A and B are shown apart, each in its own frame.
Chain A
Amino acid sequence: MSRDAAKARGEVFAPWLDENAEPLIRFDRVTKKFGDFVAIDDLSIDIYEREFFALLGPSGCGKTTLMRMLAGFETPTTGKIMLAGKNIGPIPANKRPVNMMFQSYALFPHLTVADNIAFGLKRSDMPKDQIAARVDEMLGLVQLKKFGGRKPHQISGGQRQRVALARALAKSPKLLLLDEPLAALDRKLREETQFELMDIQEKLGTTFVIVTHDQEEAMTVASRVAVMDHGQLIQVATPEAIYETPNSRYVADFIGDINLIEGAVKSVARDIAEISWAESMEPLRATAPEGLTKGANCCFAIRPEKVSISAERPEKAANALPGKVIDIGYLGNMSTYHVELANGQMVKAQVPNQNRLSRHAFTWEDAVWVSFTATAGLVLTA
């Protein structure tokens, strides 16, 4: 079943919610150590067929090690990695139905584009006459039909990236690994290529696992994102869930821009928690997560675009705080205001620039009110 067909019937592609779904990949309590250094720390995860799964985290978080274990370049110190129900631990890289697209592309400089794509096919048991047809098909898929005879150094960076993709996909792997596939492209090309990647993934239905440190890229392409830190998974969820309901300060801070205000739970009543965060300041009101207890230390988190800014105190706002405009960042499509509250706490508020030529409503040193609803912010305890 393709994702399109599922969409047509009003279903959402979410095999991870289906208890009966068999995962394509299962990491079962995998630990990987390099000497004393623990790269992957007792990690378990299921990845399903047709998923576009993103491993996101800062460098050194273990995401690359995780991918290299899938490719077969590293073996787990303890734990099992299952691919389609089979333990792939003892299977060497050249025997796995898994292919990888390298960050450096790793195109063979002495072979033409077509020979690069045919390289893996020639190592398989595919008959010779079919190889040429398959290479042609792959060149068509990545729109490089005219470039088959060129050497890698004779084509542009974007074209090399597509050759690397075609080469990795040529053997129809069960799983395609992409190691920072777009890092070497400039911003504009990168954005275009993200959508191309998604199209190709949907067309072929291959499971993709992408490693990236670029959160925007992960959010754009992935069906689920795993945020990693120090060899552990911090949160695994859809891009929407990662952005709107991060489970910890780490995830909230890593993904996008956010205001974090440390405080303590003053009271919990009818789903609404009051958080005291500074002397002489009104407590903040926000939806309480389950199990929140009075007196607990917590962190109030709110995205800048959910913060409103006004000259007068809004009447009905659940939260309203007075402050002073310190800085204005003009981003074109929106402006970011840095507002300093009475106790010195800085709050960022983002306001879309809906009218062309309209002047900024506020300027430096203006006294303003920042306000937000009770459901706009999050109370994080982790």
Chain B
Amino acid sequence: MGNTRRLFLILVPYSWLLLLFLVPFAIVLKISLSDSALAIPPYTPTLDLSAGWAGIKALFADFDFENYAWLAEDNLYWKAYLSSLWIAALSTLLALMVGFPIAYGMARAPEEWRPTLMMLVILPFWTSFLIRVYSWIGILGQNGYLNQLLEWLGLIDEPLIILNTPIAVYIGIVYTYLPFMVLPIYATLEKLDADLLEAAEDLGCSRFQAFWLVTFPLSRPGVIAGCFLVFIPVVGEFVIPSLLGGSKTLMIGKVLWDEFFANRDWPVASAVAVLLLLILIIPIVLFQRQQQRQQEAEQ
């Protein structure tokens, strides 16, 4: 009785995962092994279920790794992968540098302010992500608010060119993903026992040493979680680089989009997607292991 109930409970999430993740992924994988064609859908072979077993066999016989070979041949792709990883790493670092002080300030704020501060961090999620990124175009453009402000202040004579450069991409990414960095760090800092800092001071630490020797190491689980939560989605990000980065910013997400919609080369695009997933599996597994270790340590 107990066993069947437990089995049923496990079955629910697993069947959702199967339906919503594994089946689509299998389709993408299948397309990535196919050839491009001028047809609807724009690839061959297609699965002919009416042919039965012979149809499936014919399908597998037509599969090849041509598209993957193509990804290796054209250096556009691996450059885009590397560039994505680099942009993701740098923006994670930037988000950490901006996010940690915010989280620290929130955790040290008077208790009655904290819900409000938390609200302010979450508030941007209430409007569309796309609209928020568009609004950055208005801010960063040549005649945008930022340039107007700087000119009015007399700090610059010529407008700064920020939009359609990597700088705009970093600004957009850090802005968008900041809450994912702030919230886990805040969660660990908020739990931090204030006695520990007094104990550190009592034992001869300056305020800065106490921060560096106690607060920072104890916030590490939050820092690591925040970094993964920013890094993993940023690698595949395409909205921000295509809206803010112009043609100069090379990111794999953008390449993927172009292959699908500009080139209509679904098989190559699928191969790019499968490779992206494989690349991200490493940090995802590392993240999972870290979370697990954290949970064990807390028990």
Q: Can you give 8 contacting A-B residue pairs, CB < 8 Å?
A: A73-B201, A93-B201, A94-B204, A99-B203, A100-B202, A108-B200, A119-B203, A119-B213
A123 with B203: CB separation less than 8 A: yes
Q: How far is the CA of A303 from the CA of B6 in the complex (A)?
A: 64
The interface bits of chain A over 250-290 (1 if a CB of B lies within 8 angstroms of the residue's CB, else 0) are 00000000000000000000000000000000000000000
Which B residues lie at the A interface, using CB under 8 A?
193, 195-196, 198-206, 209, 213-214, 217-218, 297
The interface bits of chain A over 93-135 (1 if a CB of B lies within 8 angstroms of the residue's CB, else 0) are 1110011101110101110000000011001100000000000
Q: How far is the CA of A8 from the CA of B297 in the complex (A)?
A: 52
B202 with A99: CB separation less than 8 A: yes
Q: How far is the CA of A351 from the CA of B270 in the complex (A)?
A: 91
Q: How far is the CA of A311 from the CA of B195 in the complex (A)?
A: 58
Given contacts A123-B204, A124-B204, contact A110 B199 (CB under 8 A): no
B193 with A123: CB separation less than 8 A: no
A94 with B217: CB separation less than 8 A: no
B203 with A167: CB separation less than 8 A: yes
B21 to chain A, nearest CB (A): 36
B216 to chain A, nearest CB (A): 10
B208 to chain A, nearest CB (A): 11
Residue in contact with A110 in the complex, picked from B193, B204, B217, CB distance below 8 Å? B217
B218 with A109: CB separation less than 8 A: yes
Q: How far is the CA of A119 from the CA of B200 in the complex (A)?
A: 8
Q: Is A162 an interface position by the 8 A CB rule?
A: no
Q: Is A171 an interface position by the 8 A CB rule?
A: yes
In this complex, what residue of A is CB-closest to B195? A106
B205 with A94: CB separation less than 8 A: yes
Residue in contact with B205 in the complex, picked from A72, A103, A123, A168, CB distance below 8 Å? A123
Residue in contact with B193 in the complex, picked from A98, A104, A124, A168, CB distance below 8 Å? A104
Q: Is A320 an interface position by the 8 A CB rule?
A: no
Q: How far is the CA of A92 from the CA of B202 in the complex (A)?
A: 9
User: Chain B residues near A108 (CB, 8 Å)?
Assistant: 196, 199-200, 214
- Cβ < 8 Å to B, chain A residues 154-193: 167-168, 171
Residue in contact with A171 in the complex, picked from B204, B217, B297, CB distance below 8 Å? B204
Residue of B200, B201, B203 contacting most chain A CB atoms (<10 Å) = B203
A198 to chain B, nearest CB (A): 23
Q: Is A55 an interface position by the 8 A CB rule?
A: no
User: Chain B residues near A110 (CB, 8 Å)?
Assistant: 217-218
Residue in contact with B206 in the complex, picked from A73, A94, A102, CB distance below 8 Å? A94
Q: Is A71 an interface position by the 8 A CB rule?
A: yes
Given contacts A94-B203, A108-B214, 8 further A-B contacts (CB under 8 A): A92-B201, A93-B198, A93-B202, A100-B198, A100-B199, A104-B193, A108-B196, A109-B218
Closest 6 CB pairs of A and B: A123-B204, A120-B203, A106-B199, A106-B195, A93-B201, A104-B195
Residue in contact with A94 in the complex, picked from B202, B214, B297, CB distance below 8 Å? B202
User: Chain A residues near B198 (CB, 8 Å)?
Assistant: 71, 73, 93, 100, 102, 106
Q: How far is the CA of A123 from the CA of B202 in the complex (A)?
A: 11
Given contacts A108-B214, A110-B218, contact A120 B196 (CB under 8 A): no
User: Chain B residues near A120 (CB, 8 Å)?
Assistant: 202-204
In this complex, what residue of A is CB-closest to B194? A106
User: Chain A residues near B193 (CB, 8 Å)?
Assistant: 104, 106
Q: How far is the CA of A73 from the CA of B198 in the complex (A)?
A: 8
The interface bits of chain A over 59-80 (1 if a CB of B lies within 8 angstroms of the residue's CB, else 0) are 0000000000001110000000
Q: How far is the CA of A94 from the CA of B203 in the complex (A)?
A: 6
Q: How far is the CA of A104 from the CA of B214 in the complex (A)?
A: 16
In this complex, what residue of B is CB-closest to A120? B203
User: Chain B residues near A71 (CB, 8 Å)?
Assistant: 198, 202
In this complex, what residue of A is CB-closest to B203? A120
Residue in contact with A106 in the complex, picked from B196, B213, B297, CB distance below 8 Å? B196
Q: How far is the CA of A171 from the CA of B205 in the complex (A)?
A: 13
A94 with B201: CB separation less than 8 A: yes
A102 with B195: CB separation less than 8 A: yes
B149 to chain A, nearest CB (A): 42
Q: How far is the CA of A153 from the CA of B206 in the complex (A)?
A: 26
A152 to chain B, nearest CB (A): 11
User: Chain A residues near B203 (CB, 8 Å)?
Assistant: 94, 99, 119-120, 123, 167, 171
- Cβ < 8 Å to B, chain A residues 349-373: none
Q: How far is the CA of A153 from the CA of B297 in the complex (A)?
A: 9
User: Chain A residues near B200 (CB, 8 Å)?
Assistant: 108, 119
Given contacts A94-B202, A110-B218, contact A123 B209 (CB under 8 A): yes
Q: How far is the CA of A104 from the CA of B194 in the complex (A)?
A: 10
User: Chain A residues near B204 (CB, 8 Å)?
Assistant: 94-95, 120, 123-124, 171
In this complex, what residue of A is CB-closest to B196? A106
A102 with B199: CB separation less than 8 A: yes
User: Chain B residues near A94 (CB, 8 Å)?
Assistant: 201-206
A286 to chain B, nearest CB (A): 48
Q: How far is the CA of A100 from the CA of B202 in the complex (A)?
A: 7
In this complex, what residue of A is CB-closest to B210? A94
